[in-house]
Amino acid sequence: MTTECDQKASMSDQESITNFTVPAVAEETVAPLSDRGETVFALEDVSVFYSAFKAVREVNIGVRANEITAFIGPSGCGKSTVLRCLNRMNDLIPGARVEGKVYFYGTDLYGSDVSATEVRRHIGMVFQKPNPFPKSIYDNVAFGPRVNGVKKKDELDHLVEKSLKGAALWDEVKDRLKTSALGMSGGQQQRLCIARAIAVEPSVILMDEPCSALDPIATARIEDLMREIKSRFTIVIVTHNMQQAARVSDRTAFFTTEINPASDRRTGVLVEYAPTKQIFSHPSDIRTEQYVTGRFG
């Protein structure tokens, strides 16, 4: 996804661009979960540092295509840090560095020939607080395609309509596309941000606490939307809401913190990663059971 963050970090990016080969998923023929085995992301011994501080250590996860994967855990356990590894948003944080390997359809995202800008075009992101641009509804959705070279009005019109329909927003805004996005409700703004993300046709959408600033009705709309669009996108969501993870995700990764003997500070660790039903009914680690039953965290 092309955002204001990309403008800060990538307009002067002189790295060569790797053209990822991302398999397409036909909307009308979606395989059942048991038949979907393709790995989109493979994290191998991933650790993230902020200067000398190891914020997260040795994470190993495989994220499958067209599933919703949830990251849960207490504050400070590294959920969002790991999420930002998947589209190189940590590159924007001074002193941050990633060790280990992060593969996207087999391509090393941190390889010397890979542009962070191109990574973010294939891997969109929706943030905790809705962040529409101070532009019209139409221009918010058309922003990414325009940056990517789409200039013809009929093409932009088609992409805007398709993206707003994909975000379950078209019927609500089709008669006011030229009005400011800042006048929308919070739930509508968040769905607009999802439409803006999918307008550049990524294969993955990352969501960092996308419902934390929304009321229960708006949250339910976003959750319904996630279920609807996972046939076309792989979704990874960070959430503090365990009920939300249980409702919408196919797989869940539980993170917690441990004292780092070298620094006497807490470092995030991955405790368990499994199908969501198993995490919430029969977790294999006592720490997971204690967290999902509310006994700590």
pLDDT in tens, 170-213: 999 999 999 999 999 999 999 999 999 999 989 999 999 999 88
Looking at residue 288, what is its pLDDT? 95
Question: Residue 233: what are its φ and ψ, rounded to 5°?
Answer: -135, 150
pLDDT higher than threshold 90 for residue 117: no
Instruction: Say which amino acid occupies 13.
Output: D
pLDDT attached to residue 37: 59
Strand ranges in 37-182 using DSSP code E only, listed in sequence order: 39-50, 53-64, 68-72, 96-104, 107-108, 123-126
Cα 192 to Cα 5, 92, 131, 140, 187: the distances in Å are: 17, 24, 9, 8, 9
Per cent of the chain over pLDDT 90 is 73
Q: Does the structure show a pLDDT above 90 at 227? A: yes
Cross-strand bridge partners of residue 204: 123, 234
Q: Considering the chain, what is the average pLDDT of its residues? A: 86
Q: What pLDDT score was predicted for residue 297? A: 56
- For the chain, list the domains and their CATH numbers: 4-12+38-292 (3.40.50.300)
- Which is more confident, 255 or 34? 255
The two three-digit tokens of residue 161, written as one number: 């309509």
Q: Are strands 204-208 and 123-126 parallel, antiparallel or unpaired?
A: parallel
What number of other Cβ atoms are within 10 A of residue 222's Cβ?
22
